[in-house]
């Protein structure tokens, strides 16, 4: 079974989905991506999660990020479940759900943890950059629903730090001050970050978020 680590190229695959056949890398194109798995269809926590993602689609779009869900149930089951999600969550599912009956994708991404359940996927989340590299992995137990506000926050951080020489501190949110990369001297930082640099300690320098006007 594959083990995927941060910085690895996200494994490509082809699969059936509720929006037709998908070649994962081609489907991603030059977008970022979120691949997240569900233990099975017609389960209560998953129903709330998929409804939430549908409502957040505009937020993912703003971040040039595509979302795709997966469970080990079949396509017809997915289609019936989508009707329930739309009804109970007062939304319209607007992203693909992969049918992974043969568990090919689940095993490729190590989504089945036998000590939790030998057949069902755990709640895995993979955030994938526009370079097809895995940027973040989070694994939740089947009983715990995900916080999609947190996933949006993480995407904001990942995209900011990918393109600027900064890191984000604890509890950072978009618009907050950020940490200057340790690889940059304070002298150079003052030239790079024209909004100012606050040297709290020689190793801890703060600056306003650089990609905001």
Residue 195's SS3 state is: coil
Among this protein's residues, is 46 annotated catalytic? yes
Give the whole-angstrom CA distance, residue 184 versus residue 92: 46
Give the whole-angstrom CA distance, residue 191 versus residue 209: 15
Phi then psi dihedrals of residue 73, to 5 deg: -90, 170
Give the whole-angstrom CA distance, residue 6 versus residue 193: 28
Compute the residue count for the chain.
213
Question: Considering 46, 50, 54, 72, which one is annotated as catalytic?
Answer: 46
Give the whole-angstrom CA distance, residue 2 versus residue 17: 22
Enumerate the active-site residues: 46
């Amino acid at each position: 079974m594959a083990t995927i680590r941060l910085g690895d190229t996200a494994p490509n695959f082809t699969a059936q989905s509720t929006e037709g056949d998908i070649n994962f890398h081609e489907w991603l194109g030059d977008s970022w991506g979120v691949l997240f798995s569900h233990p099975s269809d017609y389960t209560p926590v998953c129903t709330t999660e998929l409804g939430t993602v549908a409502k957040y689609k505009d937020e993912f779009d703003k971040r040039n990020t595509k979302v795709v869900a997966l469970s080990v149930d079949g396509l017809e089951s997915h289609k019936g479940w989508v009707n329930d999600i739309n009804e109970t969550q007062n939304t319209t599912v607007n992203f693909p759900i992969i049918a992974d009956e043969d568990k090919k994708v689940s095993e490729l991404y190590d989504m089945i943890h036998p000590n939790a359940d030998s057949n069902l996927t755990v709640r895995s989340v993979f955030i994938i950059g526009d370079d097809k590299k895995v940027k973040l992995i989070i694994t939740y137990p089947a009983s715990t629903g995900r916080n999609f506000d947190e996933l949006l926050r993480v995407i904001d951080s990942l995209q900011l730090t990918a393109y600027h020489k900064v890191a984000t501190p604890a509890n950072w949110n978009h618009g907050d001050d950020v940490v200057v990369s340790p690889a940059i001297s304070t002298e150079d930082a003052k030239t790079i970050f024209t909004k100012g640099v606050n040297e709290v300690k020689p190793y801890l320098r703060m600056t306003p978020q650089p990609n905001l006007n």
